[in-house]
């Protein structure tokens, strides 16, 4: 697989030749999630092969509501390193600094509110030894809520452990299918491709996984070995209600034009944009049902800026309440052309929602 004209990304420099290199670097970016971090660190330490094989370090981006250093000392007992940024770098800056601070052959960026299941690193080690050509290893992921209760599974890519084929790359170009918690990447791959792109706020991971999938083979284990926590009051949840998550997805789709041959870029962009719009319509329906009417309208506007394909408009008309179906927002313009047949908006639909969004 080949990369095609990837725009410049933040540089990840190779380590000095004399650096001691463990196999794994488990880098835990932290920001105001110390209450969850105890479980995260324990799930790593229960699989710890020792300092010679694994670097474990918390990288705090100047938390303001809690004390991740105290939690690191309490749970890590001197085994887990801690670094506090001298100033807040933001998500992208802190993630890229995690990579730069990593000394291992393989880097695992493990959010401070996620969990690993027993056998995560052992299964990865088996795959790495059996398939030395791979540049990344991924597993299926369990979704859990803020209380740690399991709520679902990520989609299955293959039914048996194997190196993913080209059809997976095509699927990944159309939608997010991998997650930080369930993904290990060779540091040399980050050195080759660069870090996370600062142009993206929420889809920086999807963008990175696309670049990786186009550049190197990925091994996939269908065993659910990692748990991804979904918060209803997280920054991502807030971005959903403002429509920013859809706007960022649209930016990521545009950026990916440079990753593929020009003769198929437009086709992939249209397909990915249609998928983003359909997902946004689904989100708008959920927001409406929760009483966030203004938020639902904002998401619809962003959906229509992604695509006005017939399949998108049909889902919009079928899935949303009749009051919302009476309008296609006049400000919505898709990437590929204007929205037609605009209808007046009832004034009450543009008022702030009764519950805080």
The reply to whether 162 and 294 lie within a common domain is: no
Structural domain count of the chain = 2
Looking at the structure, tell me whether residues 131 and 280 fall in a common domain.
no
Is there a single domain that holds both residue 115 and residue 204? yes
199 and 304 belong to one structural domain: no
Q: Give yes or no: residues 94 and 58 share one domain.
A: yes
Q: Indicate the DSSP class of residue 33.
A: -
Neighbours of 202 (CB within 10 A): 19
What would the pLDDT profile of 214-243 be if each residue is shown by its tens digit? 999 999 999 999 999 987 656 667 787 788
Q: Among the three residues 171, 195, 229, which one is the final residue of a domain in this structure?
A: 229
Q: Pairing relation of β-strands 183-186 and 150-153?
A: unpaired
Given 229, 253, 274, the domain boundary residue is 229
Contact 105, 15 (CB under 8 A): no
Q: Helices 244-255 and 262-289, interaxial angle, to 10°?
A: 170
254-287 pLDDT tens trace = 999 999 999 999 999 999 999 999 999 999 988 8
Spatial separation of the C-alpha atoms in residues 77 and 51, rounded to whole Å? 13
Q: Quick one: 93 and 175 in the same domain?
A: yes
Please write the tens of the pLDDT for every residue from 317-334: 887 776 566 555 545 556
Look up the pTM and report it: 0.88
Task: Name the residue range of residue 322's domain.
Answer: 235-350
Judge if 129 and 180 occupy the same domain: yes
User: Is there a single domain that holds both residue 202 and residue 254?
Assistant: no
């Amino acid at each position: 697989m080949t990369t095609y004209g990837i725009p410049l990304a933040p540089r990840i420099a190779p380590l000095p030749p004399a650096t001691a290199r463990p196999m794994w670097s488990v880098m835990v970016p932290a920001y105001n999630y110390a209450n969850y971090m105890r479980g995260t660190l324990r799930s790593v330490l229960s699989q710890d092969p020792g300092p010679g094989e694994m670097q474990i370090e918390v990288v705090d981006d100047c938390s303001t509501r809690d004390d991740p250093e105290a939690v690191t000392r309490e749970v890590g007992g001197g085994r887990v390193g801690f670094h506090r940024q001298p100033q807040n770098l933001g998500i992208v800056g802190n993630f890229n600094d995690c990579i730069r601070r990593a000394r291992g052959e393989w880097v695992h960026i493990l959010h401070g509110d996620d969990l690993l299941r027993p056998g995560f690193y052992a299964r990865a080690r088996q795959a790495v030894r059996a398939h030395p050509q791979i540049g990344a290893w991924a597993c299926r992921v369990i979704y859990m809520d803020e209380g740690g209760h399991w709520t679902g599974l990520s989609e299955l890519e293959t039914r048996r452990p194997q190196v993913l084929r080209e059809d997976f790359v095509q699927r990944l170009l159309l939608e997010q299918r991998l997650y930080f918690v369930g993904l290990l990447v060779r540091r040399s791959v980050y050195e080759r491709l660069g870090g996370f792109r600062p142009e993206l706020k929420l889809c920086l991971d999807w963008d990175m996984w696309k670049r990786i999938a186009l550049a190197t083979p990925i091994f996939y284990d269908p065993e659910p070995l990692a748990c991804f926590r979904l918060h209803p009051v997280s920054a991502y949840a807030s971005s959903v209600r403002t429509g920013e998550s859809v706007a960022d997805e649209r930016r990521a789709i545009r950026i990916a034009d440079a990753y593929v041959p020009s003769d198929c870029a437009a086709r992939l962009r249209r397909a990915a944009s249609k998928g983003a719009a359909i997902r946004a319509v689904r989100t708008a329906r959920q927001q409406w049902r929760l009483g966030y009417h203004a938020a639902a309208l904002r998401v619809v506007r962003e959906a229509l800026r992604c695509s006005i394909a017939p399949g998108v408009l049909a889902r919009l008309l079928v899935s949303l309440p009749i009051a919302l179906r009476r309008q296609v927002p006049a400000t919505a313009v898709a990437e590929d052309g204007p929205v037609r047949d605009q209808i007046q908006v009832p004034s009450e639909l543009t008022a702030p929602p009764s519950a805080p969004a």
